[in-house]
Amino acid sequence: MSESKCKCGPGYATPLDAVRNGPVEKLLYVVCVQPNLDEEHGDYLATVDVDPASPTYCQVIHRTYTNSKHNELHHSGWNTCSSCHFVPGGKEVPTRDRLVLPCLNSDRIFVIDTGTDPRAPKLAKVIEGDVLKGADCTAPHTTHCLPNGNIMISVMGDAEGNAKGDFVEFDKNFELVGTWSRGDRKALCGYDYWYQPHFNVMVASEWGAPKLFRRGYHPTDCDDRTQYGCRLNFYRWQERELFQTIDLGDDGLTPLEIRFLHNPRENQGYVGCAFYDVPVKKVQGENGEIEMMGGMMTDILISLDDRYLYFSNWRHGDVRQYDISDRANPRLTGQVFLGGAIQRDAPRRVLNDPELKEAPEPVFLKGRRLLGGPQMLQLSLDGRRLYVSSSLFSPWDKQFYPEMVAAGGTIVQLDIDVENGGMKLNENFLVDFGGEPYGPGLPHEMRYPGGDCTSDIWLVNE
């Protein structure tokens, strides 16, 4: 369709349009989990001021509480994005004004109105968990808008909490349409997904069964590959049918975040496998026990110009930047340590490290030690600022980094050299969730009001 015959909807015409003409972010919407399960205000969406010229820079300026317990807000997504940017003449032009917050534990979905007052979002609707269970689905995860204006959310479990890879579709008023996939062939597990209509394909990844990951991580969970994922699932977009599954084997356990290149004419993408994409380190614990510690790659993203890929290495404690101009041969161009479990003064002592000659030093910022490890990532549209939060999933936070849970999580900013590659910690930026009104909070995923590097999908405009 040509632009002359269309109305422009939300987002940006192309990824490079976002890079060149997108605004500098001034607000950051942050999904925050309340680790105190008895606190009645529960999880919340924090609005953070990230405008350096503002008197409330690096502060939480508003909190939209769920006012219910045991939700475990995790990921988020918009009611509409750049896939709906070009709208045929005569049709209603959608507005990006609803942020969708699915919950891993309660199966609720909170819909937040960000359009009325972007600095003070308010709750617009709550979809109770029984709605998903009625479709034999639980543990909703990734939200994307569809080109037709509907909203689709991936799920990871059936009504009993067993592993199940599927998708639920809602209309623009957030009424359930039904499950999206058709045919008898179903994915064993679910997690993230990304669609690419130009190639008639959608790719989905796998984590595990809700009844397993909700109770914390057990190394033996991975033994049953029907309940813990190691596969990529390929769907025909138009037909909505699963047509191919690729088993990644032991080297591809828990493939989590799926990121296609942003250019909709590119047919390539990447997936981060949490447990086996980073060389393991041999460590000795406080009681003399020997452990082979993996890095736990928990998030990846690609810059909007498709030049750099970033990933967080939650257990080892670093964020890495790769130049992916040569798609099949990523080249490491930046690495920054932001905590982790192998620091010089950590209880575990590294005995053998295939990557580092010495343990990283602890990191202090504005008088605060960074605890836990780097987790969720969000990049500015121009690629120059990378925001990094510290919380993965509260049961796992409590298991791996209890000191971070007790002190509250953080968000830091890395300054990016977009010309030559490389990144460094911004010493003037810190969002500290230790002093929240109802106790320390755990910040997870981050969004901008106008869209960002991980929420927008573009279509080929012909």
How many residues in the chain?
462
Q: In whole angstroms, how large is the CA radius of gyration of the chain? A: 21
**Beta carbons within 10 angstroms of residue 59's beta carbon:** 14
pLDDT score of 1: 41
Give residue 29's identity as a one-letter amino acid code. Y
Alpha helices per DSSP H over 102-254: 129-133, 210-213
Paired tokens of 367: 């008088």
CA distances from 51 to 26, 246, 367 (A): 5, 44, 21
- Domain segments of the chain as ranges: 7-447
Distance, in Å, from the CA atom of 302 to the CA atom of 378, rounded to the nearest integer, reads: 10
- Per-residue pLDDT band for 3 (boundaries 50, 70, 90) equals low
177-217: per-residue pLDDT in tens?
999 999 999 999 999 999 999 999 999 999 999 999 999 88
CB 377 within 8 A of CB 386: yes
Q: What is the pLDDT of residue 358?
A: 93
- Res 462: pLDDT: 57
**Distance, CA of 144 to CA of 197 (rounded, Å):** 14
- Sheet strands side by side (includes 27-33): 60-65, 44-49, 27-33, 442-447
Bridge partners (DSSP) listed for residue 412:
388
Read off φ and ψ for residue 282, nearest 5 degrees: -85, 120
Identity of residue 234: F
Q: Which residue has the tokens 């909190």?
A: 63
Residue 125 CB burial class (10 angstroms; 0-12, 13-18, ≥19): middle
Other residues' Cβ atoms within 10 Å of the Cβ of residue 449: 21
Residue 354 to residue 256: CA distance in whole angstroms:
24
* pLDDT 10s digits, 228-273: 999 999 999 999 999 999 999 988 889 999 999 999 999 999 999 9
Handedness of CA 283, 300, 451, 135 (dihedral sign): negative
Q: Rounded to whole angstroms, how far apart are CA atoms 460 and 386?
A: 27
Tell me which DSSP letter residue 437 carries.
Answer: T
Would you state the pLDDT for residue 90? Answer: 79
CA distance readout (Å), 134 to 142, 163, 194: 19, 16, 25
Burial 406-426 (b: 16+ CB within 10 A, else e): ebbbbbbbbebebeebebebb
Give the SS3 label for residue 19: helix
Pull the structure tokens for residue 154.
């991936």
Q: Phi and psi for 27 in degrees, rounded to 5?
A: -125, 150
The model's pLDDT over 70-124, given as tens digits with 9 standing for 90+, comes to: 999 999 999 999 999 999 887 889 999 999 999 999 999 999 999 999 999 999 9
Mean pLDDT calculated for residue range 440-451: 96
Provide the residue type at 45 as one letter.
L
Q: What is the DSSP string of 258-291?
A: EEE-SSTT---EEEEETTTSS--EEEE-TTS-EE
Mean pLDDT of the chain: 95
The string of pLDDT tens digits covering residues 312-357 is 999 999 999 999 999 999 999 999 999 999 999 998 899 999 999 9
Q: Range with the lowest mean pLDDT among 30-39, 130-139, 217-226, 369-378?
A: 217-226
Tell me, what's the pLDDT at 4? 60
Tokens of residue 358, six digits: 């010495």
Can you tell me the mean pLDDT for 413-422?
A: 98
The CA distance from 338 to 364, in Å, is: 9
Q: Which CATH class is domain 7-447?
A: mainly beta
What is the per-residue pLDDT for 180?
A: 97
Q: What is the pLDDT of residue 217?
A: 85
Least Cα distance to 226 among 212, 244, 216 occurs for 212
Instruction: Determine which helix (DSSP H) or strand (DSSP E) holds 179, and give its type and residue range.
Output: strand 176-179
